Chains A and B, each alone.
Chain A
Amino acid sequence: MSVLVGPQTKLLVQGITGKEGTFHTLRNRAYGTNVVAGVTPRKGGQDVEGIPVFDTVAEAVSATGANTSAIFVGPRFAGDAILEAADGGIDVVACITEGIPTRDMAEVHSYLRGTATTLVGPNCPGVITPGVANVGIIPGEVCTPGRVGFVSRSGTLVYQIVYELTSKGIGQSTCIGMGGDPVHGIGFIESLALFESDPDTDLMIMTGEIGGDDEERAAAYIAERVSKPVVAYIAGFEAPPGKRMGHAGAIVTGSSGTATAKTEALEAAGVQVARTPSQVAELVADRLGG
């Protein structure tokens, strides 16, 4: 078992014929992911190293039964690509694209509430279930199968921390890069809920960073609903305060959004919070060993 992606995954890549799209599609396939189709408007009928390309998601789904999508299209068209995937009946959409206008994402976010589609990202590295399926750009070679679930806002911190876990012989059930954009799909709470009910996950790691209140809300959720141990890391203690003009942001969250505030909220919920990325793997090793 695993969450979001696994042996059931039939991957479709939107933007497959672009440079990044092609490169990562082939890496995902080489990892063992079942890549069934690609979509690039006006390139239907071509193929990418044997992977058939369609003009629309609907055509690709009907021809191949694709149920998962990775999006590599440019920022101006990525919002549309997510909506197309949702309307095409795709279950899990990982949007790798960075720089999507926030208004587009707000509209997408509102529309997805009425669908059964789970969005990961945007501006994220994707999702990997080590040894089974890799959807996106996480370097599969640093991962190893195991029983630790991982969710992170930052991509490079996933790579860094997973590498250290793997070096200590600690494998991962699924790693979710949720992305750092203000308006995004799956968050800490939804990810932790998936791991909590996954019989093959024993412990979860969450890595957050300054800004917003996702970590504070996750802390409240953990205190109430999560029984499995959680280890966390927050980046940005030394980051300069944002040059925010209005006061409205602080009014909304009721929190300063600082690394200290997030760390305190998580510790109050019984979460062990590492002070450096290296310490995450040490805390996990202690917890699993003890």
Chain B
Amino acid sequence: MDLYEHMGKDLFRAQGIATPRGTVCRTPEEAADAATSFGGRAVVKVQVQVGGRGKGGGVVLVESPERAADETDRLLREVFAGHVVDRVLVEELLPIAAEFYTSILLDRSTGSYLAMMTAEGGVDIETLARERPEAIRRASIDPLLGPRPYHVRELVGTLPASAREGAADVLGKVFDLLTDRDATLVEVNPLVQLEDDRVVALDAKVTIDDNALVRQPDLAALAQEFPIDPVEKRAKEAGLQYVKLDGDVGIIGNGAGLVMSTLDVVARAGAKAANFLDIGGGASADTMATSLEVILSDPAVRCVFVNIFGGITRCDVVANGVLEALGRVDATVPIVLRLDGTNAEEGRRIIAEAQHPKIVSVPTMDGAAAEAARLAEAAA
């Protein structure tokens, strides 16, 4: 779960990492008041779960409370990089002497934490990493040992001597934040040195491990603050893995790999998937009914492709589940059903005998994808 900047900064302050003073504002009036409290000049920062805010015009310096209100009004009206905006962060301006970059993340290729720091902050770090990788100091940190003094000396080595102690302190606290709060990424760009040499986190990107939310209840509660598509919300409440896409063939399958593969096969057949929906193992009639409801509630769907490979899930059970589901949900579009694997013949026989007018049974994945694409095209 990616946190908003202001949430990340709350975690920073709780850990003892200095940040600018700031106020979360949901209206232009609140933003004007916040700017006034900082002496009139301030920075207004859009709060969204996506990077590139500076380049996209989502971070604005303002010279007066009126300008703070105007910019907040503009940001709240706009959709920022596809994300709905319901709040901005208004922060005080600080006297900055130098800008750095630091991050620590769980590196999936090694299973260790990777810490990075460079004196060249506030820039496009991906470009720097590509063009002059030697400018970025890196250290691989064993999860059981934590950062050792030599790691820290190495990491702060490109910073001005006057900033190293403050930066080292931040590094230690960022690592504690990762382990205490189950974060998989903490990125600070820029980390700044003020004119009085204090080191302050001007930005905060924090990603929390979804698997660990059960033991971080206060962080799990933050999930409600993020905007969510109504269809996705309904699927989530039913415990389904659902992602909305922009095509017109609704997809239901069992297992993330098979569903991902189904999207690819449908694309090769010349159509586009309307969604990703994984019903997981053991598809009950109830799960199937909810899945069909979710998919049929999307007006873009012209055809549904149910792709089930029976492993432990038996196809005869799935076939009965689909029929039971169609007794509860009114299918408005054709449903292409592909049953293969355990008890597939029995499952297909059940479907054939039911003679449901909306179900088309196709035994192979590629054949079913072609049929789904044809039906979606015919309905367009």
Partner-B contacts on A (CB < 8 A): 75-76, 99-103, 105-107, 109-111, 137-139, 141-142, 152-157, 159-160, 163, 180, 182-183, 207, 209-210, 212-214, 217, 233, 235-240, 243-253, 259, 275-278
How far apart are the CA atoms of A244 and B273 in the complex, in Å? 22
How far apart are the CA atoms of A207 and B264 in the complex, in Å? 14
Interface residue total, chain B, C-beta cutoff 8 A: 63
Residue in B closest to A153 when the chains form the complex, CB atoms:
B257
Q: Is the interface of B mostly helix, strand, loop or mixed?
A: mixed
Kindly state whether residue B105 has any CB partner on chain A within 8 Å: yes
Query: Chain B contacts of A183 at CB under 8 A?
Result: 106, 108, 111
Q: Min CB distance, B58 to chain A, in Å? A: 13
Contacts known (A155-B257, A156-B254, A245-B207); A102 close to B341, Cβ less than 8 A = no
Instruction: Mark each residue of chain B from 183 to 216: 1 if its CB lies under 8 Å from any CB of chain A, else 0.
Output: 0110100000000000000000101010110110
Kindly state whether residue B116 has any CB partner on chain A within 8 Å: yes
Kindly state whether residue B350 has any CB partner on chain A within 8 Å: no
Kindly state whether residue B39 has any CB partner on chain A within 8 Å: no
Query: Chain B contacts of A99 at CB under 8 A?
Result: 211
Residue in A closest to B186 when the chains form the complex, CB atoms:
A246
Query: Chain A contacts of B243 at CB under 8 A?
Result: 240
Pairs across A and B, CB under 8 Å, 6 listed: A110-B111, A238-B245, A245-B187, A245-B207, A251-B116, A277-B265
Q: Which of B126, B142, B184, B366 contacts A102 (CB 8 A)?
A: B184
Query: Chain B contacts of A250 at CB under 8 A?
Result: 126
Contacts known (A106-B113, A180-B256); A111 close to B144, Cβ less than 8 A = yes
Not counting A160-B261, A246-B207, A278-B365, a sample of 5 additional A-B residue pairs whose C-beta atoms are within 8 angstroms of each other reads A156-B255, A213-B109, A239-B260, A243-B50, A246-B51
Q: Min CB distance, A238 to chain B, in Å? A: 4
Q: Are A75 and B211 in contact (CB under 8 A)?
A: yes
Kindly state whether residue B2 has any CB partner on chain A within 8 Å: yes
Query: Chain A contacts of B255 at CB under 8 A?
Result: 154-157, 159
Partner-A contacts on B (CB < 8 A): 2, 49-51, 103, 105-109, 111-114, 116, 125-126, 129, 136, 142-144, 178-179, 182, 184-185, 187, 205, 207, 209, 211-212, 214-215, 243, 245, 253-258, 260-261, 263-268, 272-273, 276, 309, 311-312, 340-342, 364-366
How far apart are the CA atoms of A262 and B260 in the complex, in Å? 15
Contacts known (A110-B111, A110-B112, A245-B49); A240 close to B342, Cβ less than 8 A = no
Q: Are B108 and A141 in contact (CB under 8 A)?
A: no
How far apart are the CA atoms of A210 and B256 in the complex, in Å? 11
Q: Are B111 and A156 in contact (CB under 8 A)?
A: no
Query: Chain B contacts of A252 at CB under 8 A?
Result: 105, 107, 109, 114
Q: Min CB distance, A94 to chain B, in Å? A: 16
Query: Chain A contacts of B178 at CB under 8 A?
Result: 103
Residue in B closest to A217 when the chains form the complex, CB atoms:
B109
Query: Chain A contacts of B49 at CB under 8 A?
Result: 243, 245
Query: Chain A contacts of B103 at CB under 8 A?
Result: 246, 248
Query: Chain A contacts of B143 at CB under 8 A?
Result: 103, 106-107, 109-110
How far apart are the CA atoms of A253 and B130 in the complex, in Å? 12
Query: Chain B contacts of A153 at CB under 8 A?
Result: 257
Q: Are A156 and B257 in contact (CB under 8 A)?
A: yes
Residue in B closest to A238 when the chains form the complex, CB atoms:
B263
Q: Which of A75, A142, A209, A245 contacts B257 (CB 8 A)?
A: A209
Q: Are A154 and B125 in contact (CB under 8 A)?
A: no
Q: Are A142 and B185 in contact (CB under 8 A)?
A: no
Q: Are A248 and B187 in contact (CB under 8 A)?
A: yes
How far apart are the CA atoms of A209 and B103 in the complex, in Å? 26
Q: Are A156 and B311 in contact (CB under 8 A)?
A: yes
Query: Chain A contacts of B109 at CB under 8 A?
Result: 212-214, 217, 252-253
Contacts known (A156-B257, A180-B257, A276-B265); A163 close to B365, Cβ less than 8 A = no
How far apart are the CA atoms of A180 and B278 in the complex, in Å? 15
Residue in B closest to A257 when the chains form the complex, CB atoms:
B108
Query: Chain B contacts of A210 at CB under 8 A?
Result: 260
Q: Are B116 and A248 in contact (CB under 8 A)?
A: yes
Query: Chain B contacts of A138 at CB under 8 A?
Result: 311
How far apart are the CA atoms of A209 and B276 in the complex, in Å? 15
